[in-house]
């Protein structure tokens, strides 16, 4: 297999160009929490649906009051009920927060600004104006008005708002379905006896956790041996998913069958091999609506490729930005090989970034401490302390 390597930027561009179109789903508001709207929401009615009192107090007609005389209390209206009478000139009706304004009233004086004497009230609020303490019908949203624009991120407050105006379901850019296929005869699942020549499979637990970090639960997690027929079967069984992630078996060894298995399944190869470290034998392909990512087997390469390539592909579906990208100064010098983009486990502190030790792709102890990946340019060899570098946060 003699594959031409492409640059990191070419790989990222090709992934976005060849990813499936976004999925739009109609879901309940609770299911939409944290998603972006795929439609503009229009208010089905006025909110508030009627003029209502904003405070506990007394409702009356401001223009019919001479601002001196006491007002006669003629009744009461509570929230959830309506006034049985029309307020007459010189009369006030006891009212509570949220209750509809009685016919003939337009102003509420709060209960702290009156003096009750017998069956009358004396208004002591010298700043009271017509319309005080009244929420007018449609003062929040009017029927037919755009209440929330397409592309808006739905939050807890947004759910409360939309529920309040009578919306129960919305269309959102939905999360893709994702399956994980781990290959390797040498692998045993966590909790099993390792035995001679065996190692514990840690790629799928890492990928599952990383997916859940962006609020996606995988549809399936499958482990297969280095057997082409098994790998073909596993891939075919998951082709209904939006994204398939494979780990291991994508290099050029005698028992690396993933590339040929993908070809046998009809997956169109977009690229195979990227000028990067770690994760050089990284594969991307597609078939119908399914995007396929085949990652090297080393755990650090797996997670690096996930954060650098698969997360942006998921963002293509959801329209969400999951992690920040920063430009920060290095805390020390660093030398790298020219011709490869390096992704290094890093730690940010005090608006600077340090490159951690143990950068080999099979070592996870540094990744466990990292909060970012430091991206070093393909053509640059020497970095000095203080040089600003691209930092891709992973937390």
pLDDT tens, position by position, 11-48: 999 999 998 677 899 999 999 999 999 999 999 999 99
**Do 251 and 294 belong to one domain?**
yes
Residue 374 belongs to domain with CATH number: 2.40.340.10
Is the confidence at residue 1, as pLDDT, over 50?
no
Q: How many CB atoms lie within 10 A of CB 143?
A: 13
pLDDT for the residue 85: 80
Distance of CA 392 to the CA centre of its chain: 17
- What's the CA gap between 236 and 178, in Å, rounded? 14
Instruction: Tell me the per-residue pLDDT of 89-130, one tens digit each, with 9 for 90 and over.
Output: 999 999 999 999 999 999 999 999 999 999 999 999 999 999
Domain boundary among 135, 157, 187: 135
**Do 247 and 200 belong to one domain?**
yes
b/e 275-306 (16+ beta carbons within 10 angstroms → b):
bbbbbebbbbbbeeebbbbbbbbbbbbbbbbb
Tally the C-alpha atoms within 13 A of residue 252's C-alpha that lie toward its C-beta.
Answer: 7
User: Domain for residue 3, yes or no?
Assistant: no
**Do 90 and 59 belong to one domain?**
yes
Is the confidence at residue 255, as pLDDT, over 80?
no
**Do 205 and 276 belong to one domain?**
yes
Residue 149 belongs to domain with CATH number: 3.90.105.10
Q: How many CB atoms lie within 10 A of CB 17?
A: 8
pTM for the predicted model, two decimal places: 0.88
Number of domains observed in the structure of the chain = 4
**Do 312 and 187 belong to one domain?**
yes
**Do 103 and 187 belong to one domain?**
no
Residue 225 belongs to domain with CATH number: 3.40.980.10
Instruction: Tell me the per-residue pLDDT of 335-384, one tens digit each, with 9 for 90 and over.
Output: 999 999 999 999 999 999 999 999 998 999 999 999 999 999 999 999 99
Tokens representing 236? Answer: 């075919």
Tokens representing 60? Answer: 């009356």
Is the confidence at residue 244, as pLDDT, over 50?
yes
pLDDT for the residue 3: 62
**Do 111 and 160 belong to one domain?**
no
Is the confidence at residue 282, as pLDDT, over 90?
yes
User: Domain for residue 304, yes or no?
Assistant: yes
Average pLDDT of the residues in 64-77? 94
Instruction: Tell me the per-residue pLDDT of 287-296, one tens digit each, with 9 for 90 and over.
Output: 999 999 999 9
User: Domain for residue 386, yes or no?
Assistant: yes
**Do 184 and 169 belong to one domain?**
no
Averaged pLDDT of the chain: 95
**Do 34 and 144 belong to one domain?**
yes
Provide the residue range defining the domain that includes 164: 25-46+139-173
Domain boundary among 293, 318, 343: 318
User: Domain for residue 389, yes or no?
Assistant: yes
Q: What is the DSSP letter of 277?
A: E
- What's the CA gap between 38 and 42, in Å, rounded? 13
Q: What is the DSSP letter of 194?
A: -
- Dihedral angle computed from the Cα positions of residues 169, 179, 5 and 16, in that order, rounded to the nearest 10 degrees: -10
- What's the CA gap between 284 and 193, in Å, rounded? 33
- Dihedral angle computed from the Cα positions of residues 366, 226, 254 and 259, in that order, rounded to the nearest 10 degrees: -80
**Do 169 and 216 belong to one domain?**
no
Residue 72 belongs to domain with CATH number: 2.170.190.11
**Do 343 and 386 belong to one domain?**
yes
Burial, 120: exposed, middle or buried (Cβ in 10 Å; 0-12, 13-18, 19+)? Answer: middle
- What's the CA gap between 285 and 262, in Å, rounded? 9
User: Domain for residue 336, yes or no?
Assistant: yes
User: Domain for residue 159, yes or no?
Assistant: yes
CA-to-CA separations, 87 to 71, 76, 77, 104, 105, in angstroms, rounded: 11, 11, 12, 5, 6
Q: Is 387 helix (H, G, I), strand (E, B) or coil?
A: coil
Domain boundary among 78, 107, 135: 135
User: Domain for residue 299, yes or no?
Assistant: yes
Instruction: Tell me the per-residue pLDDT of 197-224, one tens digit each, with 9 for 90 and over.
Output: 899 999 999 999 999 999 999 999 999 9
User: Domain for residue 192, yes or no?
Assistant: yes
Distance of CA 303 to the CA centre of its chain: 19
Average pLDDT of the residues in 254-272? 94
Instruction: Tell me the per-residue pLDDT of 162-197, one tens digit each, with 9 for 90 and over.
Output: 999 999 999 999 999 999 999 999 998 888 877 788
**Do 93 and 36 belong to one domain?**
no
């Amino acid at each position: 297999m003699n594959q031409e390597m492409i640059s990191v930027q070419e790989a990222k561009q090709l992934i976005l160009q060849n990813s499936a179109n976004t999925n739009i789903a109609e879901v309940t508001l609770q299911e939409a929490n944290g998603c972006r709207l795929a439609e503009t929401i229009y208010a089905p009615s006025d909110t508030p649906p009627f003029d209502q009192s904003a405070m506990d107090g007394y409702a009356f007609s401001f223009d019919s009051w001479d601002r001196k005389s006491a007002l006669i209390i003629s009744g009461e209206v509570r929230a959830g009920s309506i006034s049985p009478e029309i307020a007459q000139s010189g009369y006030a009706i006891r009212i509570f927060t949220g209750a509809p304004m009685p016919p003939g009233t337009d102003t509420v004086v709060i209960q702290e600004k009156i003096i009750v004497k017998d069956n009358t009230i004396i208004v002591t609020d010298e700043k009271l104006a017509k319309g005080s303490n009244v929420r007018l019908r449609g003062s929040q949203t009017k029927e037919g008005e755009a209440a929330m624009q397409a592309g808006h991120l739905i939050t807890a407050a947004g759910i409360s708002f939309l529920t309040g105006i009578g919306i129960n379901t919305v269309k959102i850019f939905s999360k893709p379905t994702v399956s994980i296929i781990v290959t390797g005869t040498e692998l045993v699942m966590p909790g099993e006896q390792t035995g001679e020549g065996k190692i514990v499979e840690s790629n799928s637990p890492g990928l599952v956790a990383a997916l859940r970090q962006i609020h996606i639960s995988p549809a399936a997690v499958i482990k297969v041996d280095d057997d082409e027929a098994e790998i073909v079967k596993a891939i075919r069984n998951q082709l209904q998913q939006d994204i398939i992630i494979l780990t291991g078996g994508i290099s050029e060894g005698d028992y690396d069958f993933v590339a040929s298995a993908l070809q046998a399944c009809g997956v169109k190869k977009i690229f195979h091999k990227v000028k990067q470290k770690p994760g050089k034998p990284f594969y991307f392909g597609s078939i119908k609506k399914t995007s396929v990512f085949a990652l090297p087997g080393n755990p650090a390469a797996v997670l690096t490729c996930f954060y650098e390539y698969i997360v942006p592909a998921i963002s293509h579906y959801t329209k969400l930005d999951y992690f920040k990208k920063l430009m920060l100064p290095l805390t020390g010098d660093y030398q790298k090989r020219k011709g490869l983009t390096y992704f290094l486990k890093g730690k940010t502190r005090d608006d600077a970034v340090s490159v951690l030790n143990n950068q080999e792709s099979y070592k996870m102890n540094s990744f466990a401490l990292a909060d970012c990946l430091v991206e070093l340019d393909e053509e640059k060899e020497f970095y000095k302390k203080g040089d600003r570098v691209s930092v891709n946060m992973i937390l």
